[in-house]
Structures are given as C-alpha cells and as structure tokens.
Amino acid sequence: MATAGNDRRIDYVELGVADIERAKAFYGSAFGWTFTDYGPTYCEFSDGRLTGGFTTNSPPQPGGPLVILYANDLEDAQRRIEAAGGHIAKPIFSFPGGRRFHFLDPDKYELAVWTKT
C-alpha cells in the first residue's frame, strides 16, 4: 500500500504454514480468498481488501496476534470454516457491539470472525 493514508494501519499479514496448498485450499474454501504464487515457498493471498502471505520459510507460530475477520452471516461463515477443515475454538458468543467465534486453521492459528448483529 505504502501511501500516506495508510500510515500506521495494518498493511500485510504473513503466516508461516506447513503446507501452502493446504492453506490455500482452506482459506479459498472458507472465505473465497484469491492467491498469487511466488515460487514454492511463498504465496500471496488477497481477500479483496487486504493482502498477506503464506510462507514455508518460517514455521507455523500459533498464538500470535489474533486476526479478526468480519462476516455478514456469522453462522454461514462458521459452516464454511468447518466444511473447509477448520475447528471451532470458541463457539459463537455475544459481546458489546456484536457476536463472534474463534477457530483454528489447519496450522493451528487461532482467528476470529465477528458480526454486528
């Protein structure tokens, strides 16, 4: 991004994964992300708004920062995640401002999905 309007905002998220093809299959199936391969050890992903990367150059590091995604339909997002092979770590719960759940991806990264309703 590298423009003044993006100063001090999340620009890129990089996850060390055990298997790039497995990560692509999971995130493509669960969220519809697209991918650009940059050789056998790196793949960039895009959710249409934010980009990031999967790499096998660093090992998976579960327990890092919590990445939170938004979904209009929380239950549909949970179904897609489970169908793609994800595991629910914290079932849907309410909090001031909305509802969310946490899940583990195939490399055991914990992420969350939230909605306002």
**pLDDT tens digits, one per residue of 58-90:** 899 888 888 999 999 999 999 999 999 999 999
Dist CA 45 CA 51 (whole Å):
6
What backbone torsions phi and psi does residue 97 show, to the nearest 5 degrees? Answer: 110, -10
Q: What is the per-residue pLDDT for 27? A: 97
Contacts of 17 (CB under 8 A, 6+ apart): 23, 54, 55, 56, 60, 107
pLDDT of residue 1: 43
Q: What's the whole-number average pLDDT of the chain?
A: 91
Ramachandran sector of residue 39 (left: φ over 0; alpha: ψ -120 to 50; beta: rest): left
Least confident of 2-6, 48-52, 78-82, 99-103: 2-6
Q: Provide the pLDDT confidence category of residue 2 given band limits of 50, 70 and 90.
A: very low
